[in-house]
């Protein structure tokens, strides 16, 4: 199965002692960034500040704005020598940034809140997506129109997925048969009445290629207040290198603006990081993700905008559903200070 189908909708939040050390060693040895300096954005660049950005998963169109900023030299124009390193099952952006192995990472707002609760002082600085592109997919023709109708159904889902815990609590789903999703869609394909976790940018496209038509329930429509594709750094790095953070944030915003209109010229570049994913699949991603990136909120306040109200709402939802165990000051979990305004 190609890498773009192996999206994971959940992560293990904290790794202790030996596990963390093994992860960091594994991440350094298994990173799937290309070797050529042209593709990786590395090389001798006198006078530029070197920084590294770790993706949440393999290189894909969902991170297109960052690759566009690299391809179009927006980072260099800001004095930054940027390296983008793809993530994967053995590469954790959260842990690598927390350990100082990289300066920036990509994650979700709920993951940032969970990390902070467990003593990892990360801060969101740009929300690539105003809402998560995660979905529950189901076979076309099934009589499903709302999350409240899932009682009695089988759902293939990861372990302790935060949005799923919220949906179960919010929609009183007490009679759902939960089956562990292992990254393979064969069980879903063979079970016409079931649902499966996925991304609107990926699985519907891949399944259509196999002649399987699906509909989706968008997690964003459940009320779950998550931001997705959140660029983050650490509190210490933010304090010590504010000019660098501002440069990276504003170059990334410019990259997203470019990508939205010019993704067909950027996606072949992204493919050099992930040859298993076709350009056609990334073009599909780019079209599907547009409304998640550019909406009335970002038109008024700029791509990447976040609000204290959304972060506070997300925390309340996670506390309600068991994703968090204690209240924290959510205003410390993000900042919009470095975003450029329209």
Cα distance between residue 340 and residue 342, in whole Å: 7
Cα distance between residue 88 and residue 58, in whole Å: 6
How confident is the model over 101-159, as pLDDT tens digits?
999 999 999 999 999 999 999 999 999 999 999 999 999 999 999 999 999 999 999 99
Distance, CA of 190 to chain centre: 28
Q: Are residues 1 and 206 in contact, defined by beta-carbon separation less than 8 angstroms?
A: no
Looking from the CA of 262 toward its CB, the CA atoms found within 13 Å total 15
How confident is the model over 268-307, as pLDDT tens digits?
999 999 999 999 999 999 999 999 999 999 999 999 999 9
Q: Are residues 130 and 297 in contact, defined by beta-carbon separation less than 8 angstroms?
A: yes
CATH no. of 3-131+226-332 = 3.40.190.10
Q: Are residues 286 and 267 in contact, defined by beta-carbon separation less than 8 angstroms?
A: yes
Cα distance between residue 335 and residue 230, in whole Å: 11
How confident is the model over 322-337, as pLDDT tens digits?
999 999 999 999 999 9
Architecture of domain 134-222: 3-Layer(aba) Sandwich (3.40)
| CB proximity list for 125: less than 8 A, separation 6 or greater | 231, 232, 233, 238, 245, 249, 334, 335, 338, 339
DSSP 71-123: HTTHHHHTTEEEEEE--BTTB-HHHHHHTTS-SEEEE-HHHHHHHHHTT--EE
Cα distance between residue 308 and residue 184, in whole Å: 37
Cα torsion 304, 309, 314, 315 to 10°: value is 120
CATH 3.40.190.10 domain position(s) in the chain: 3-131+226-332, 134-222
Confidence of residue 183 (pLDDT cuts 50, 70, 90): confident
Q: Are residues 21 and 51 in contact, defined by beta-carbon separation less than 8 angstroms?
A: no
- If we measure between CA atoms, which residue out of 108, 99, 118, 117 comes closest to residue 7? 108
Residue 152, SS3 per DSSP: coil
Give, to the nearest 10 degrees, the angle between helix 109-117 and helix 308-321. 70
Q: DSSP label at 48?
A: P
- Choose the weakest-confidence range: 7-16, 113-122, 153-162, 177-186: 7-16
- SS3 of the chain: helix, strand, coil, percent, to 5: 45, 15, 40
Cα torsion 237, 241, 242, 243 to 10°: value is -150
Q: What is the mean pLDDT of residues 15-24?
A: 34
How confident is the model over 207-239, as pLDDT tens digits?
999 999 999 999 999 999 999 999 999 999 999
């Amino acid at each position: 199965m190609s890498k773009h189908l192996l999206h994971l909708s959940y992560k293990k939040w904290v790794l202790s002692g030996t596990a963390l050390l093994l992860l960091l060693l594994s991440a350094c040895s298994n990173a799937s960034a290309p070797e050529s300096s042209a593709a990786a954005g590395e090389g001798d660049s006198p006078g530029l500040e070197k920084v590294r950005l770790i993706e949440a998963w393999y290189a894909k169109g969902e991170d297109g704005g960052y690759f566009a900023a690299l391809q179009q030299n927006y980072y260099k124009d800001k004095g930054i020598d940027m390296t983008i390193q793809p993530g994967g099952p053995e590469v954790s952006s959260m842990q690598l940034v927390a350990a100082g192995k990289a300066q920036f990472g990509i994650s979700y707002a709920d993951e940032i809140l969970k990390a902070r609760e467990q003593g990892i002082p990360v801060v969101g600085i740009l929300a690539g997506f105003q809402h998560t592109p995660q979905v529950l997919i189901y076979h076309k023709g099934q009589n499903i129109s709302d999350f409240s109708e899932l009682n009695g159904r089988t759902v293939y889902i990861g372990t302790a997925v935060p949005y799923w815990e919220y949906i179960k609590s919010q929609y009183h789903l007490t009679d759902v048969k939960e089956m562990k999703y292992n990254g393979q869609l064969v069980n879903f394909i063979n079970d016409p009445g079931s649902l499966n976790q996925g991304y609107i940018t990926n699985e519907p496209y891949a399944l259509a290629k196999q002649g399987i038509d699906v509909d989706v329930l968008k997690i964003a429509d459940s009320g779950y207040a998550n931001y997705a594709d959140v660029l983050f750094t650490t509190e210490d790095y933010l304090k010590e290198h504010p000019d660098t953070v501002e440069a990276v944030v504003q170059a990334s915003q410019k990259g997203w603006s470019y990508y939205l209109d010019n993704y067909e010229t950027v996606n072949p570049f992204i493919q050099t990081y992930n040859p298993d994913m076709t350009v056609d699949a990334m073009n599909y991603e780019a079209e599907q993700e547009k409304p998640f990136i550019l909406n009335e909120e970002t038109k008024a306040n700029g791509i990447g905008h976040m609000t204290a109200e959304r972060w506070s709402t997300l925390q309340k939802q996670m506390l309600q559903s068991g994703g968090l165990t204690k209240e924290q000051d959510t205003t410390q979990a993000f900042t919009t200070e470095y975003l450029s305004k329209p």
